[in-house]
A and B are shown apart, each in its own frame.
Chain A
Amino acid sequence: GDSVTQMEGPVTLSEEAFLTINCTYTATGYPSLFWYVQYPGEGLQLLLKATKADDKGSNKGFEATYRKETTSFHLEKGSVQVSDSAVYFCALPSDTGNQFYFGTGTSLTVIP
């Protein structure tokens, strides 16, 4: 069945470092792909998405490119800030279109 596999954490980076969080997916067809972010004590919120192959989603300096050749949707940011400390989830809709599948989440801590 459809699923996402996400890089395990936790990840600790210094401010202004480069960030990559890996996400690969298994799916029938080419579903939309999502990255959600969860700040401490809050619910998840959409960070970015891509709706078709080769699309690049971007928001708040984060980017992810939908690569069907490698079935990947890696999250990147060129220079992280302390305020980016959060848990990041990769997600895709199920093939039945009834629900979403989430990765296990990657915790990021950025230290000054």
Chain B
Amino acid sequence: AQSVAQPEDQVNVAEGNPLTVKCTYSVSGNPYLFWYVQYPNRGLQFLLKYITGDNLVKGSYGFEAEFNKSQTSFHLKKPSALVSDSALYFCAVRSGDSNYQLIWGAGTKLIIKP
């Protein structure tokens, strides 16, 4: 069965420090991976996706994610955190050989402290 795990419910980072939000997945076939961010009382905003090719994907707002096939991971990273990055982050995956339904992680709350 396909699944996505975000092992941390919450991540706390000091402003200016690097941040990592973890995501691991399990799919049959090639994975297509996505990161979204949700600010309070808002819909989800697309950050970046991995389809194929370069394992390091760059996205919006200075975020990037690294695809690691051997570890089945797709961690979200940013070199220097901003207080405004505080939000809820979701990882999602599709398999290339299924009905294309997105499978979502439970979300990770990111708190950036000044």
Q: Answer yes or no: do A and B interact.
A: no
Residues of B with Cβ closer than 8 Å to A?
Answer: none
